Amino acid sequence: MKILHFDSKEYNFITIDKNKYFIFKGINGKNVIIPDHCPHRGGPLHLGKWDEKKEAIICPWHRIACKKQYLIHNGLPAVRVGTDWHVLIDQLDVQDVSLQKLHIALEENLNKWERYIV
């Protein structure tokens, strides 16, 4: 098990071995780290669009809805204080962890996520 520390002003995208995650920002300081992997064929969810009615991210590749339950269940446990993040990597055999700053298309409609975060 590892704890990853970073500042979201510098990074918003995490790669752990072959698995990718990104910060999905809500309003009022509520944020989550969710998988960037569409369960259909691995499409990049950070380039998707939030669908209010379906409560899901619409994958940009084949337009399948990735439900919030999938996103939360497959996200990373984390604690945020301001822009400082502390992320639990609950894998024993992690070989490589990297951080990046990417354009997250979903940030354009993130405020709709707020009510789903407990």
Which residues of this protein are in contact with ligand FES, per CB under 6 A?
38, 40-43, 59, 61-62, 64
49 neighbors 58 (Cβ within 8 angstroms): yes
- Nearer of residues 4 and 106 to ligand FES, judged by Cβ: 106
Q: Would you state the structure tokens that stand for residue 75, as one six-digit string? A: 């996200």
Q: Give the residue carrying structure tokens 């944020």.
A: 31
- Nearer of residues 24 and 85 to ligand FES, judged by Cβ: 24
Q: Closest separation between CB of residue 59 and ligand FES, Å?
A: 3
Q: Closest separation between CB of residue 60 and ligand FES, Å?
A: 7
Cα torsion 45, 40, 73, 55: sign: positive
Cα–Cα distance for residue pair 25/28, rounded to 1 Å: 9
Q: Closest separation between CB of residue 53 and ligand FES, Å?
A: 17
